[in-house]
Amino acid sequence: MARVQISCSQARAGMYVLKFGGSWFRHPFWRAHFLLTSEEDVQRVRTSGVPFIVIDDQRGVAAEPAIPAAAPQAAPRPANVRRPALSSVRAANEPAERPQSQRDRDRAARLVQQAKNRMKGVFEAARLGKAVRRADVEPVVDDIVASIEHNAQALIGVIRLKSKDEYTYFHSVAVCTLMVNLARHHSLDEATTRDFGLAGLLHDIGKMGIPDDILNKPGKLTEGEFAIVRDHPNFGHSLLSATPDMSPTALDVCLHHHEKMDGTGYPFAMPGEAISLAARAGAICDVYDALTSDRSYKEDWAPAEAISAMWNWEGHFDQALLFEFMQSISVFPKGLLVRLRSNRLALTLENRRRASRPRVCAFYSTRDREFLDPEIVVIRDDLSGDQILSAEEPALWGFTEWDAVALALESGQDSRFVRQRTMTARAANG
């Protein structure tokens, strides 16, 4: 036997926990699976309030048989006494329960802080020349994978709230999060997803070879200083190669996350077709987090501003993968022609607030090939609403004057005006 379900009261040191019963956010641990090593952790399990735990009795100690409790005798119920509804009963000093979304953000914030502290120790050890141990960093990946599976948007929202004073450590956690999220959106298997997370966590470890006065310099770098910075992929790869069981994906991303699809990246100026999927994803996640972070030499960009710039940098990124990244974080540049799940074409609009859901203006039926009355649609993460499926090339749909069509839609013009503007442009172009 391996997997055994037991009550929390049966927990004891030496057990290997595989999962908790009930809702994910109610149990007191971030780890997806772990060994109970202390009495403190055992007590946290016993008092957690979850209905049960599942253990692996081949990787840890087995459970002792539970002692059945005597059945309690029910007290006689007084006649003609109406009991209040359970939902209306609350102790006088019991605070109202916080909304689940806020609880998720709170837990995500604690996870990011704990992960940052762990990575600070790993990076500082690397600065002293010590090899990276997978056992020191894989628990961070496990925690992030579990958090992404539960509420990706809560964790993605929290990773933007970084301190510029400890950017390097927070950045590693943020890129890990974005890599895991993108891997899940790309439907990669669990092992590959964890490899992507580990690669994101360690992609910049080579920066431990850069002097702090260069790494945190507020002004422009000299040519000599920039040469030192450009060597960090090689230095990081050398550090990680000292770990015998290091993931090949982590080595790959560490060495190649500054390569570009047009062959102008560093350190090897590799052609796009030679860059792996993991390294392409690493490049996207690394740049996005850098742009949206507050640094000593620049202020943070809004997510939509960063995505818009990245979308327009020709030759830098894999455009198809970049669009998947946009879908995974629900951020799109303004002015894009997109296809919706509802068989409509739409124009992406500017977000009114930083954390608001993406909005589009749907205006054309792809099934009937006709214009529709423009409709503002809020994009959702699930099937309860419409979703963006792909970016479309305006000219292939006959929108040769796309900028004019987009302006008309943004200004609230009706379908007749948009249709007329499109037909006039088509006639002018033969």
pLDDT tens track for 300-318? 898 999 999 999 999 999 9
The pTM (predicted TM-score) of the whole model is: 0.75
Q: Which of 241-255, 345-359, 369-383 has the lowest mean pLDDT?
A: 345-359
| Rounded average pLDDT over 387-408 | 91
**Can you give the pLDDT at residue 31?**
56
Inform me whether the pLDDT recorded for 121 exceeds 70: yes
Distance CA 292, CA 302 (A): 6
Distance CA 408, CA 390 (A): 22
Distance CA 101, CA 380 (A): 16
Let me know if 33 is exposed, middle or buried by CB neighbors in 10 A (0-12, 13-18, 19+): middle
**Can you give the pLDDT at residue 18?**
78
Distance CA 118, CA 115 (A): 5
**Can you give the pLDDT at residue 317?**
98
Q: Where does the pLDDT of residue 219 fall: very low under 50, low under 70, confident under 90, or very high at 90 and above?
A: confident
* Residue that wins the pLDDT comparison between 332 and 107: 332
Q: Of the segments 136-140, 157-161, 336-340, which one has the largest average pLDDT value?
A: 336-340
Q: Where does the pLDDT of residue 107 fall: very low under 50, low under 70, confident under 90, or very high at 90 and above?
A: confident
| Rounded average pLDDT over 167-196 | 93
Q: Where does the pLDDT of residue 298 fall: very low under 50, low under 70, confident under 90, or very high at 90 and above?
A: confident
Q: What confidence tens digit (pLDDT) does each residue in 410-424 have? A: 888 776 777 776 776
For residue 348, give the DSSP letter: E
**Can you give the pLDDT at residue 72?**
43
Residue 194 CB partners (closer than 8 Å, separation 6+): 138, 141, 142, 145, 180
16, containing H or E segment: strand 16-20
Inform me whether the pLDDT recorded for 185 exceeds 60: yes
| Rounded average pLDDT over 276-296 | 93
Inform me whether the pLDDT recorded for 82 exceeds 50: no
Q: Where does the pLDDT of residue 90 fall: very low under 50, low under 70, confident under 90, or very high at 90 and above?
A: very low
Distance CA 257, CA 251 (A): 10
Distance CA 313, CA 34 (A): 43
Distance CA 63, CA 56 (A): 10
Mean pLDDT of the chain: 83
Question: Strands, E, within 268-395: which ranges?
Answer: 337-340, 344-348, 359-365, 370-378, 388-391
User: 251 near 276, Cβ under 8 Å?
Assistant: no
311, containing H or E segment: helix 303-312
Inform me whether the pLDDT recorded for 73 exceeds 70: no
Nearest CA to 3 out of 18, 21, 22, 24 is that of 18
Residue 32 CB partners (closer than 8 Å, separation 6+): 19, 142, 143, 145, 146
**Can you give the pLDDT at residue 27?**
56
Could you tell me the end-to-end alpha-carbon distance of the chain, in angstroms, rounded to an integer? 74
Give the β-pairing of 16-20 and 34-35: antiparallel
Q: Which of 285-299, 310-324, 374-388, 411-425 has the lowest mean pLDDT?
A: 411-425
Nearest CA to 206 out of 179, 176, 178, 235 is that of 235
* Residue that wins the pLDDT comparison between 176 and 100: 176
| Rounded average pLDDT over 257-261 | 98
| Rounded average pLDDT over 228-240 | 96
Q: What are the percentages of helix, strand and coil residues in the chain, rounded to 5?
A: 50, 10, 40
Inform me whether the pLDDT recorded for 404 exceeds 80: yes
Q: Where does the pLDDT of residue 93 fall: very low under 50, low under 70, confident under 90, or very high at 90 and above?
A: very low
Q: Of the segments 254-263, 348-357, 411-420, which one has the largest average pLDDT value?
A: 254-263
Inform me whether the pLDDT recorded for 81 exceeds 60: no
For residue 38, give the DSSP letter: S
| Rounded average pLDDT over 40-62 | 79
**Can you give the pLDDT at residue 287?**
97
Is the backbone of residue 14 left (phi > 0), alpha (psi -120 to 50) or beta? left
User: 148 near 155, Cβ under 8 Å?
Assistant: yes
User: What's the alpha-carbon Rg for the chain, to the nearest Å?
Assistant: 26
171, containing H or E segment: helix 167-185
Q: Of the segments 12-21, 162-171, 184-193, 411-420, which one has the largest average pLDDT value?
A: 184-193
Q: Give the 3-state secondary structure of residue 266.
A: coil
**Can you give the pLDDT at residue 231?**
96
**Can you give the pLDDT at residue 360?**
95
Percent of the chain with pLDDT over 90: 46
